[in-house]
């Protein structure tokens, strides 16, 4: 009975320590807030998904056309919209990259990228 109670107490203490660990490790953190995506980052994530979706779709279409699962005529009908979608997503993603590059150049820090 005593051993059982002792084991149960050890288990309970170990669990309490595990739960308290984040607070014990960082008693006074610089920041305790969860990093959230702001609206522009959410929009960017959506665009990245759209880009990847279109590119993956294009890749699959190309392969299915090569195998003969998709006919030439269907391929010609489908490839245009997919390319346009991928291009639109890439284009929408570009301004931020350009802005970031400009900001970095403006602040005079070396970017390691070629500015055209």
- Binding status of residue 32 toward other proteins by CB under 8 A: yes
In angstroms, the CA 89 to CA 51 distance is: 5
Backbone torsions φ then ψ of 72, nearest 5 degrees? -60, -45
Q: Which residues in 48-87 contact other proteins (CB under 8 A)?
A: 48-50, 52-53, 56-57, 60-61, 63-64, 66-71, 73-74, 77-78, 81
Cα–Cα distances (Å) from 75 to 33, 34, 51, 52, 80, in that order, read 49, 46, 20, 19, 9
- Binding status of residue 98 toward other proteins by CB under 8 A: no
| Secondary structure (3-state) at 107 | coil
- Binding status of residue 113 toward other proteins by CB under 8 A: no
Q: State the CB neighbour count (10 A cutoff) for residue 115.
A: 9
* Residues that bind other proteins in the complex, under the rule CB under 8 A: 1, 4-5, 7-8, 11-12, 14-15, 18-23, 26, 29, 31-37, 41-42, 44-46, 48-50, 52-53, 56-57, 60-61, 63-64, 66-71, 73-74, 77-78, 81
């Amino acid at each position: 009975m005593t051993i059982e109670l002792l084991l149960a107490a050890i288990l309970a203490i170990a669990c309490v320590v595990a739960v308290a660990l984040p607070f014990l490790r960082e008693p006074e953190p610089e920041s305790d807030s969860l990093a959230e995506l702001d609206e522009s980052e959410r929009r960017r994530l959506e665009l990245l998904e759209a880009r990847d979706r279109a590119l993956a779709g294009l890749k699959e279409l190309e392969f299915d056309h090569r195998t003969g699962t998709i006919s030439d005529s269907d391929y010609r009908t489908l490839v245009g919209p997919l390319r346009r979608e991928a291009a639109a997503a890439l284009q929408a993603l570009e301004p931020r990259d350009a802005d970031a590059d400009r900001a970095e150049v403006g602040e005079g820090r070396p970017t390691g990228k070629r500015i055209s």
